[in-house]
Amino acid sequence: MNNTNMNNTNMNNINTCKYMDNSVLLCGRKQDYIVMGTCNDVNERQFDWSVTVDGHGTNSFINIIKKTDFVPFMIQNDPIKHIIEHFRSLNGTYLDDGMGLFTKNNKYKRSSGCTIIIVKIYDDLIEGAIIGDSRCAVYIDDEEVFISTPHNIKNPLEVERLSDRPSIVNDFNGDKIIQIIGDNKGIVVPSIYTTFEDNTRMALTQALGHDCITGFEAEKFSFKYNKEQHLRFVSGSDGFWDMQLNKRDIMLSGNDIIINHLMDELLPDITQDNEDILKLTAVKLTQKALKRWAQVWNVYMDDKDGKYHTMRTSYPTNGYDDICVFVWDNMMNLEQLVECPLL
């Protein structure tokens, strides 16, 4: 799904144009969703906007999201506040969808919720908010000026926010998963989970839905820019960002022996990803992520004695995650808009 909005009005460079588009690949549980548009706010100022969502648990809440008209919220001065208030009013109406309130083993409450990223882009200002572990980044003149931090138990601000709720249980040693460190390289890390007071268990500490059990403190951003500056915004679900290389994430993985040994090999891949996220279309970014989900991985395993070994593995086709990306760029290179081939 993509819906390109292009406007070749940039007088600074005839080879660029304004670009707004999204791409959604439903190759997992079919719970990613993006909506975008252009409208006037309550002060009659025109802006572009988007809402990026990644559902989790049952489909009850994401189905509500897909039927929601976000324009009345987005035109407000603090849209995330109005979005939270709206969905708070629906508490108790969506968790029991005929499947029962608890999972088969009766241990955890059945979940239904989603992450959300909202953004408003004016001709001199970009602002937005994030709830959950979907991510977004703002680039001005090809420099990253902001990247969001996932809401999970590794986020110090979330640890502080939940510190007065002692009944919450955090698990840092869940099922083993692959963390990407190179184009076809990964390491094994434990997944993390948080169990709330009502036995809702999930990998993130903030989300819409779940009868608002997580509470809310959205991460917000706001940056001014001028028409001479190149502004680019990218948002996406974890199905995209989990396949996007980021040196800071790699350095924080906790496996210093492997990372330090391989860093010279990893740097070209990291550099290429940094370049691609600054120039590729939404379609090309999602297809690049899908290619990585589908490839064979060289996974580096720590032997705990200063050594490591490798194994080759791949995700089963039913193990891919949904992938969605939204891109806004006021100086998109027209060469990038050539239709890219399907994988």
User: Using one digit for the tens of pLDDT, what is the confidence trace for 20-70?
Assistant: 999 999 999 999 999 999 999 999 999 999 999 999 998 999 999 999 999
Three-class SS state of 133 = coil
- pLDDT at site 254: 80
* Average confidence (pLDDT) over 140-149: 98
Residue type at 264 in one-letter notation: D
Q: Please report which helix (H) or strand (E) contains residue 39, including its range.
A: strand 32-40
Mean of the per-residue pLDDT values for the chain?
91
Residue type at 201 in one-letter notation: R
Q: Which residue would you say has higher pLDDT here, 105 or 313? A: 313
Asked if pLDDT for residue 320 goes beyond 60, the answer is yes
Three-class SS state of 85 = helix
- The predicted-structure confidence for 232-288, as pLDDT tens digits, reads as follows 999 999 999 999 999 999 998 888 889 988 999 999 999 999 999 999 999 999 999
Asked if pLDDT for residue 17 goes beyond 80, the answer is yes
Alpha helix (H) residue ranges in 144-255:
156-161, 238-241, 247-251
CATH topology (fold) of 5-337:
Phosphatase 2c; domain 1 (3.60.40)
How far is it, in rounded angstroms, from Cα 94 to Cα 79?
A: 23
Q: Which residue would you say has higher pLDDT here, 252 or 72? A: 72
pTM of this prediction?
0.92
How far is it, in rounded angstroms, from Cα 117 to Cα 126?
A: 13
Domain boundaries, the chain: 5-337
User: What percentage of residues in the chain have a pLDDT greater than 70?
Assistant: 90
SS (H, E, C) 224-276: ECCCCCCEEEEEECHHHHCCCCCHHHHHCCCCHHHHHHHHHHHHHHHHHHHHH
pLDDT classification of 200: cutoffs 50, 70, 90? very high
pLDDT classification of 302: cutoffs 50, 70, 90? confident
Q: Phi/psi at 271 (nearest 5 deg)? A: -60, -40
Asked if pLDDT for residue 333 goes beyond 90, the answer is yes
DSSP result, 150-182? --STT-HHHHHHTTT-TT-EEES--SEEEEE-S
Residues with Cβ within 8 Å of 108's Cβ and at least 6 positions away in sequence, in order, are: 102, 195, 199, 200, 201
Residue 139 has what DSSP assignment?
A: E
How far is it, in rounded angstroms, from Cα 249 to Cα 271?
A: 14
